Amino acid sequence: MSTRLFPAPIQAGPAARPVAVRKRPRAIKASAYESGMDPVGTARERYSVKFYLVGMIFIVFDVEIVFMYPWSVSFKTFLQNGGGLGSLAVISVFIAILFVGLIYDIKKGGLDWD
C-alpha cells in the first residue's frame, strides 16, 4: 500500500541518509560563523523594548489593511444588497478603535526612536 502512495525515490531517501551524511566535522563548520569573520561581542545582546513595540504596531496596522481591503472591494455589493450602512458602521467602529490606539501610542511615545 505504501509503495502506491509514495514512489521509490521518496521511500529510499530516509534509508540512504545514514550513508550519505558526512561524519567528519571540518574546522570551518565548527566555527561560530561561516563568513570568515570573527564574532564581535556576545550573541546575547539585548534589543530595546521599543524595537518590539514598533514591530507589533506595524503588525497591527498591517492586519488592519488586510481587513480593510476586502471590505472596500465588496462595499458596492453591500450597498446593492441593502447592508451598506451596517457594514459602514462596523468598519467605522473598527477604524475608531485603531485610531484611539494610535493616538494613545503617539502620546506614550511608542513611535519615537530616541
pLDDT tens digit sequence for 9-20: 666 666 666 666
Kindly report each contact of residues 98-104 with a partner whose C-beta sits within 8 Å and lies 24 or more positions away, as own/partner: 98/60, 98/61, 98/64, 101/60, 102/61
101 CB-contact burial (10 Å; exposed 0-12 / middle 13-18 / buried 19+) = middle
In this structure, which amino acid lies at residue 40? Answer: V
pTM: 0.53
Positions of the chain with pLDDT lower than 70, given as ranges? 1-23, 25, 27-36, 39, 43, 113-114
Its sign, for the CA torsion 23, 27, 28, 33, is: positive
Residue at grid coordinates 472591494: 73
Domain boundaries, the chain: 49-108
